[in-house]
Structure formats: C-alpha cells, structure tokens
Amino acid sequence: MQSHDAFSIEAFTGSRPGVRIVRLTGPFVLQHVPSFQDEVRKDLSPFNIVDLTGVQYMDSVGMGAIINFYVACERNHRKLVVTGVSERVQSLFKLTKVDSVLTIKPTIADAEGSF
C-alpha cells in the first residue's frame, strides 16, 4: 500500500531551450498540492510541461492546482502543456470541461514539438 500511494515531483529541463518539465508520480490529491505549487513557482520558464504519466488518480483539488498553474502561465505569457494523461484523469478533465482549456499532448516529445 505504501509504494502505491507514494507521491513524488521531479523537475528537469526539456530537450529544447526554455522548456521545463514537472513530472508527477502517484495520486495527485489535496495533501500533495502545496509541494506542486512550491515546485512550479520556483522557475519561470517560458515553456512548461506537466507530465502526468505516473498519475493514475487526481482529485478536484489536484486538478484545480493544474488549472491555477495554467492561469498563472497565461497571465505571464508563458505556455503550459499537460502530457501523459491517463484514461481516468482524462475522464475527469472531460467531465469538468478542463480538456477544452488545457493543451494536452500524449508525450513529452509531442508537447515540446508544440512550442
């Protein structure tokens, strides 16, 4: 149970200049939102990717954190693309119409190619 519920955030530079990737792994829920917010506020790269490949479950608070990051990027003329969205998370995005707001690409390479 422990490893299944473990959450981690890894941030690294993409293969193109100005691209920052934040990879989330594990359930993205209320208690993990502050660490996500701290991480995305550390760096003001013009191109941002949030990789959700390792996220099988996200609650509404986690989704709200991604939307807030999107809004902050837009306000500051930065770009955000979300990648690796599981079927379950995609269903949440569709249900809440978030999929019509966010740019979602299947892979990090696709996301980097969209900038």
Supply the CATH number for residue 78's domain: 3.30.750.24
Number of domains in the chain: 1
pLDDT in tens, 16-35: 999 999 999 999 999 999 99
Evaluate if residue 1 carries a pLDDT over 80: no
User: Between residues 5 and 36, which one has the greater pLDDT?
Assistant: 36
Q: How many Å apart are CA 85 and CA 106, to the nearest integer? A: 7
Q: How many Å apart are CA 13 and CA 48, to the nearest integer? A: 9
Which residues, in sequence order, are bridge partners of residue 24?
9
Stretch 78-107: mean pLDDT:
97
Stretch 76-93: mean pLDDT:
97
* Residue 115 belongs to a domain: no
| 3-state helix/strand/coil string of 24-74 | EECCECHHHHHHHHHHHHCCCCCEEEEEEEECCCECHHHHHHHHHHHHHHH
The boundaries of the domain holding residue 9 are: 2-104
pTM, whole model, 2 decimals?
A: 0.95
